[in-house]
Amino acid sequence: MSSKSTFSNSTSKSYALALYELAKENSELSKVEEGIKGLKTLLNESSDFNEMVLNPIIKKEKKNQIVIEMADRYNFCRTLKKFMSFLTIKNRLFFLNQIIESFLNFVSSNKGELKAKLFSSKELTKTELEKIRTELSKDFKSALNIDYKYDPDLIGGIIIQVGSVMVDTSIKTKLKKLEKNMMEA
């Protein structure tokens, strides 16, 4: 791992921890968590917002204006709004994705949740996701925070990873194994 990457990770964790502590101190942890999840969705779904966050040519004053408008539009709590403005003014908005991940990890860890990744070949409903979360929570004897992603390239099936445990029932993987076995025969 390069030193630049290590710096980025450590800086992001520091900002995330600071936000976590501020949110707790201001009794706004659940509101900040909700806002952070909304930001994550916005970064994943809005190429315009993502481009603005990463574009070094846009002046920080303009970025701050956009961030404040966005925070007002989505009713961010005071702590998150000030934090986003702080990141913008300090030219650290490009760390936003890593800060979001680190913050959500702090929240999950402090709730005693395990972090799980779920990839599905079809878009799952909230009911289906909740059923999977319930079943996995029973199996792992702990609450789970599932990071879900729809992946049409899987053809069929799902991939679930909880820590070092991975369950891959995707057709794509089964076809690759079959192809490998046929090549070796």
**Per-residue pLDDT tens digits of the chain, which is 185 residues long:** 444 556 578 889 999 999 999 999 999 999 999 999 999 988 988 899 999 999 999 999 999 999 999 999 989 999 999 999 999 999 999 899 999 999 998 998 888 888 888 999 889 999 999 998 898 888 888 888 888 888 888 888 888 888 778 888 888 888 888 888 888 86
CATH 1.10.520.20 fits 3-109, yes or no: yes
**Rg, C-alpha atoms of the chain:** 19
pLDDT of the residue at 1: 45
DSSP SS3 for 75: coil
Q: Token digits for 134?
A: 């319930």
CA 109 to chain centre: 14
pLDDT of the residue at 7: 57
The Cα 88–Cα 164 span in angstroms is: 36
Q: In the chain, what is the greatest distance between 2 CA atoms, to the nearest angstrom? A: 64
The Cα 71–Cα 89 span in angstroms is: 15
Model confidence, pTM: 0.71
pLDDT of the residue at 6: 61
**For the chain, which residues make up each domain, given as ranges?**
3-109, 114-184
DSSP secondary structure of 107-151: HHHHHTPEEEEEEESSPPPHHHHHHHHHHHHHHHTS-EEEEEEE-
pLDDT of the residue at 5: 56
| Element at 20 (helix H, strand E) | helix 3-25
